[in-house]
């Protein structure tokens, strides 16, 4: 793969696997697909949800509220999630079977107590940067391929912010899985297409 391209592996953590705090159906199926395509890329970056236990997005921190309800926060509407990916727990760990030894960076996000973070580039207040765009630009990377969990939240937001930051962005469709909360997957596909995010399968990507 061109050295100006990077693989962005989003939140492939036990918290999003079957049995995790916020399980994505079939989430563990992305691991072998990611391992298959990863050798194509010289550059790779992981993201990792990394929440304090008292994070504002956890329903458990809002008495009387249930997971998947929404509340209004200073930066807008916030989905309340089950407690997941708490700092230092097994739930927050990257999957043991991921094999991307060339990865150079892990971006931890969601560690600010009062703001959620889906995107690898920008937290949900749309003001707080993770620093990823500056890092990629410093490395002369102009294009990112995205995979991981979940298609309609952290992967989609990352793809949209990649485009907004001036990068080409392509989602490896079978290397992702979705939550699909109230039609969120179809909405994400439409929004990404409108923003110029590409779609490709792992088999297409691996064709000589």
Active site amino acids: 11, 109, 154
CA separation for the pair 188, 203 (Å, rounded): 23
Task: State whether residue 106 is helix, strand or coil.
Answer: strand
Sole residue written with tokens 């304090």: 52
Q: How many helical (H) and strand (E) elements, i.e. helices and strands, does the chain have? A: 5, 8
CA separation for the pair 116, 188 (Å, rounded): 18
Contact 63, 2 (CB under 8 A): no
Q: Which residues of 23-50 are buried (b: 16+ CB within 10 A; e: fewer)?
A: bbeebbebbebbebbbeebebbbbbbbb
> In the structure encoding, which two tokens stand for residue 99, read together?
């094999």
Which residues are registered as beta bridge partners of 134?
none
């Amino acid at each position: 793969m061109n050295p100006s391209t990077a693989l962005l592996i989003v939140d492939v953590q036990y918290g999003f696997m079957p049995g995790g705090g916020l399980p994505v159906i079939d989430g563990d199926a992305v691991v072998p697909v990611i391992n298959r395509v990863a050798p194509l890329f010289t550059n790779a970056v992981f993201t990792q949800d990394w929440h304090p236990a008292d994070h504002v997005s956890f329903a458990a921190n809002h008495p009387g509220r249930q997971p998947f309800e929404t509340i209004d926060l200073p930066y807008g509407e916030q989905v309340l999630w089950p407690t997941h990916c708490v700092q230092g727990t097994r739930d927050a760990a990257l999957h043991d079977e991921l094999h991307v030894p060339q990865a150079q960076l892990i971006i931890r996000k969601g560690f600010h107590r009062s703001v959620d973070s889906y995107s690898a580039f920008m937290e949900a207040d749309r003001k707080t940067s993770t620093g990823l765009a500056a890092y990629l630009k410093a490395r002369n990377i102009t294009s990112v391929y995205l995979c991981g969990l979940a298609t309609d939240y952290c992967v989609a937001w990352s793809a949209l912010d990649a485009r907004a930051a001036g990068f080409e962005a392509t989602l490896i469709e079978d290397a992702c899985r979705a939550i699909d909360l109230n039609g969120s997957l179809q909405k994400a596909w439409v929004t990404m297409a409108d923003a110029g995010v590409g779609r490709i399968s792992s088999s297409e990507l691996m064709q000589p």
